[in-house]
Structure 1
Amino acid sequence: MTKQFASAGDLTEKTISFTEIGRDLWAFTAEGDPNSGVIIGDDSVMIVEAQATPRLANKVIEKVRSVTDKPITHLVLTHYHAVRVLGASAYKAPTVIMGDVARAMVAERGQEDWDSEFGRFPRLFEGHESIPGLTWPTTTFSERMTVYLGKRRVDLMHLGRAHTAGDIVAYVPDEEVMFTGDIVEYHSACYCGDGHFADWGDTLDAIKAFDPHAIAPGRGDALIGRDMVEAAIESTRDFVDSTYQAAARVAARGGTLKEAWDAVRAACDPKFKDFAIYEHCLPFNVARAFDEAQGIDMPRVWTAERDREMWTALQG
């Protein structure tokens, strides 16, 4: 019998933390669930990452209201994945910002990703009935965009491909704090099913070059202090490289996807098996690494049907 998706049985409510990582800068985290960031300016608030549903977004809003009554005027979405963007309507923010590439990916594969993630991770989509539809930005940019919240400056940047082709980060220079989305994780597996393994390390280097004092990662605890930031960046690099190199060696000798799965498990289990969502991510990571090693540059679109076929092939 084929196993169910690894996260399908994860129905336990997670404990939320709301951590100040710089002056008026907050990380909303929940034991390996998707994180959100909060940037409070002189007269308004920017949210980074919407959450999967309006129900979950309202939990972020509750935390925001515990520290400020300033209006939420900007919502930044670091990439297109459903668990990051479909709660956007709860914020009623007049300005919703994505990178150009992320916006194109919503058009190309947004509905398929929604259907796919809904099947993989039902707990994150409780209250999904209130999602009005796909989330579209009101503003996009190519490489860099600066937003001022009063005097507070926020730099939005596309530093390179990594978790997806369209990842962006938000950097607050007055506090040297960065919100990286899923480019950086902490004690959580990287989801690489739409990733670009060969580029990911260079993008991590670009983040590292800012020498941030703190980072709100995509998943896991807030990273405060340069030692913790460095450790998380290097752990993320090790996870990505270990996954890709094992799969690529199998592809190079003409091996099978199942052989790549076994090789990646052998390389990654000893180091990362206790990371959040490790079992959830692993089959998707192996499938994408095997594709990239065979020269498929743009990740193939995940659909609910493809999810089941891949899961059966690797976990059956």
Structure 2
Amino acid sequence: MTSSTGHTRRDFVKLTSACAAHMALMATPFPAAAKAAWSRRSYGEVIAQEPFGRLETIGEGLWAFVSTPLGGDYTTVSNGGIIAGRDGVLVVEAFQTPEGARWIAEKARELTGRWPTHVLVTHYHGDHSSGIEGLSPDPNSPGTGNRESSASQPSLHATSATRDQKVESLPEDASERINRLWADVVLVAENAPSNLDLGGRLVKMVPRRGHTASDVTVELPDEGVTWCGDLVWNGMF
């Protein structure tokens, strides 16, 4: 079944099962002015843009990724980012699809000279976590083609609530790689903030609740930058 907005019933179910449920509402025939009021302007220099989103420089070694799914491209759906230090590179969010996560990882390599060493998922909803396999440097991962990489698998950081929700929801035919990725999660402390040292840049991971029981914010207090997952909205996309 296809709706008057051009989205199939499967698209709608996929969206409403994640935190982007309200996006389906915004995809309806709203006046352009109403959609514009929900849209977010760029705050930094846009250095890459695709139908599904844009990457903006927001500081030295800092990039924000803003998804733009209202046009119907759900490759990423959630927002996220890249944080670079002297010794490591953190990608915030694993996004909706492996192809979206792969795109972010390749941009991280272009910008920093290295494959991501860490990825943090702010909560378990699919548009923030389902693309995790795409962050693998293995050439057999989705979206890699035949390219090879000597990079190691980035460590996956999430709360135990996120891990448990993802493990419980994996389909029976999920690949061995996906099962291993979620089984080997580096757990984020759920009762106090913890730090991730990227070398010359300390990232603060703060457990919170509000959107889900698994929320984590990614904070750089000295630089005034925070990734909030879906706890805070500024406009829409």
- Residues 142-188 of structure 1 show CA distances to partners (whole Å, capped at 9, x for unaligned) of 232211001210010112x2221111011012312111111122333
Q: What are structure 1's unaligned runs of at least 5 residues?
A: 116-128, 189-219, 221-316
Query: What corresponds to 1:21 in structure 2?
Result: 58
Q: Residue type of the partner of 1:97?
A: H
Equivalent pair of 1:45/1:70 in contact (CA under 8 Å):
yes
Aligned to 1:156, the other structure's residue is in SS state: strand
Q: What are structure 2's unaligned runs of at least 5 residues?
A: 13-23, 28-49, 70-76, 137-152
Query: What corresponds to 1:171 in structure 2?
Result: 219
Query: What corresponds to 1:79 in structure 2?
Result: 123
Higher relative contact order (Cα pairs below 8 Å, separated by 6+ residues)? 1
Instruction: Say which structure is richer in helix.
Output: 1
Take 1:150 and 1:156, find their aligned partners in 2: how far apart are those partners?
A: 16
Alignment of 1:283-298 (within 5 A): none
Query: What corresponds to 1:101 in structure 2?
Result: 161
Q: Residue type of the partner of 1:59?
A: W
The alignment's TM-score, normalised by the length of structure 2, stands at: 0.62
Equivalent pair of 1:170/1:180 in contact (CA under 8 Å):
yes
Residues 1:36 and 2:80 are matched in the alignment: yes
Aligned to 2:99, the other structure's residue is in SS state: helix
Aligned to 2:57, the other structure's residue is in SS state: strand
Please give the root-mean-square deviation of Cα atoms over the aligned residues, in Å.
3.0
- The alpha carbon displacement at 1:86 in A equals 2.3
Take 2:2 and 2:51, find their aligned partners in 1: how far apart are those partners?
A: 27
The alignment's TM-score, normalised by the length of structure 1, stands at: 0.47
Equivalent pair of 2:121/2:157 in contact (CA under 8 Å):
yes
Q: Residue type of the partner of 1:30?
A: S
- Residues 182-210 of structure 1 show CA distances to partners (whole Å, capped at 9, x for unaligned) of 1122333xxxxxxxxxxxxxxxxxxxxxx
- The alpha carbon displacement at 1:23 in A equals 2.1
The percent of aligned pairs where both chains have the same amino acid is 31
Residues 1:158 and 2:195 are matched in the alignment: no
* Equivalences, count: 170
Identify if the C-alpha distance between structure 1 residues 163 and 150 changes in structure 2 by more than 3 Å, giving closer, same or farther: same
